[in-house]
Amino acid sequence: MKRQNNEHAFFRDNPHDQPTVVVVGAGFAGLAVAKALKRSRCTVMVLDRRNYHLFQPLLYQVATAALSPSDIAQPIRHILRNQRNTEVYMAEVEGIDLDRKRVIFDGGEGHYDYLVVACGARTTYFGNESWREHAPGLKDAQDALEIRQRLLLAFEDAEREADPKRRQDRLTFVVVGGGPTGVELAGAIMEIAAVTIPQDFRNVNTRAARVILVDAGDRLLRALPESLSHSAQEQLERLGVEVHLGHRVREISGGEITIGDNKVPTSNVIWAAGVEANELTGALDIERNRGGQVKVQSDLSIKDHPEVFVIGDAAQVVDDEGASVPGVAPAAIQMGKYVGRLIADEVRSGTRLSPENRKKFIYKDRGMMATIGKAKAVADLKHGIHLKGLLAWLAWSLVHVLVLVGFRSKVFVVIGWVWAYLMNTKGARIIHRSTSIHSARPETQLPDQDRSGQTA
């Protein structure tokens, strides 16, 4: 491979003339590709703007102070340290030149023989970008820490607020979106207010907190069977969560959210209503759906470029029945393993097949789960097996621990869960002051106290 003037140093000449496979993104899909190529006679280059892999299904637990970011993250280099044909680079990919087979990133560009785009997704506000400031989404560790700070600061502000109405405004939390993330967040916030912290505060009754879950659809968790959706709603409502279905959010400002025709005073809004593919997919200059996902072929490659694959949340994959493959971790892992094995087979044979001659990708749906709170969850394990309550929660916990990357992560998560379950506590309730958050906090007035120290 000849290096051009703007060729970055890590795209070195290949002394063995092996094909170069560039994987953009080290999420579930990208890591699965790299691992599937471990013994292949090719050079694998994994590029990611972060230096760590994040276990996104547990991000909500970081946001609600049950876990720390380090509990659900592992350095990418550490994960792939035993793969001698794989190199990892922290780089922001800015563009892709399909004709020249080059990846353009901060600092240069480099050649690929195979390209796998697994750049994931980001939060979408459906054209209402001004809402982003007031209603953070939950897609990465920084989002989770932002939400956690806002959540914990809300209780701190309520503790020192003398005016009852303003205190209740601070104790009102609105979660927008009735999918797994929204359901899990709403249940966890209610548990914090009602179970975890009541004894920690003197001037405010945290059990009086309102947690509102809003969704424009007619039921929660629409990917699950209807009976489990109803069970999830019942379990949330027993916790004290207010579920508002069939209502759209019309406006979000710094101190208020408009749901349908109703205005709810609150500064605590979390957005879990939708995602769109990472903006990098636009660099492929190929047909995408409304969510920015690339419409891939049956082998997950893109039209006219059998050497380029798009997988995970960045791809729209349609099964034989015309249904889209869901954007969940198991689907991303399956796509990654499929593409990795396909590339390995072609490298071994020395022949690149056309999409029509490749074995098509088939998604195996192994079910879906969502946790609601302590010993509260729903699980659809297929084959007619539907679990609710404690059994579903145990199944959810087991599956997530098994999929976690890294022995240390598994140990710390299990210890944290067991401790939280037995002691009704959250172990990561530390506030790291953020200038932007602190400056946005409302003015409060300390409650009057009599000489005994009790609030008047």
The DSSP 8-state label assigned to residue 326 in this structure reads: P
Round to whole Å and give the CA distance between 183 and 380.
16
Whose structure tokens read 């920690």? Answer: 200
Beta bridge partners of 242: 212
Round to whole Å and give the CA distance between 192 and 420.
11
Residue 242 catalytic? no
Round to whole Å and give the CA distance between 383 and 393.
19
Round to whole Å and give the CA distance between 316 and 286.
12
At 223, phi and psi to the nearest 5?
A: -75, -10
Round to whole Å and give the CA distance between 336 and 314.
12
DSSP, collapsed to helix, strand or coil, labels residue 420 as: helix
Check 184, 191, 276, 307 and give the catalytic one: 184
DSSP, collapsed to helix, strand or coil, labels residue 258 as: strand
Q: Do 144 and 68 touch, CB atoms closer than 8 A?
A: no
> 87 is written with which tokens?
């190199």
> 350 is written with which tokens?
């020395």
Q: Do 1 and 14 touch, CB atoms closer than 8 A?
A: yes
Q: How many CA atoms lie within 13 A of 301 on its CB side?
A: 22
Cβ neighbors of 200 (< 8 A, separation 6 or more) are none
> 344 is written with which tokens?
């390995």
Which of 365, 318, 409 minimizes the C-alpha distance to 57?
Answer: 409
Whole-number Cα distances in Å, 105 to 6, 28, 47, 342? 11, 21, 9, 26
Interior angle at CA 224, CA 336 and CA 410, nearest 5 = 50
Concatenated DSSP letters of 348-373: HHT-PPPGGGSPPP------EEEEEE
* End-to-end C-alpha distance for the chain, whole angstroms: 78
Q: Which residues are catalytic?
A: 184
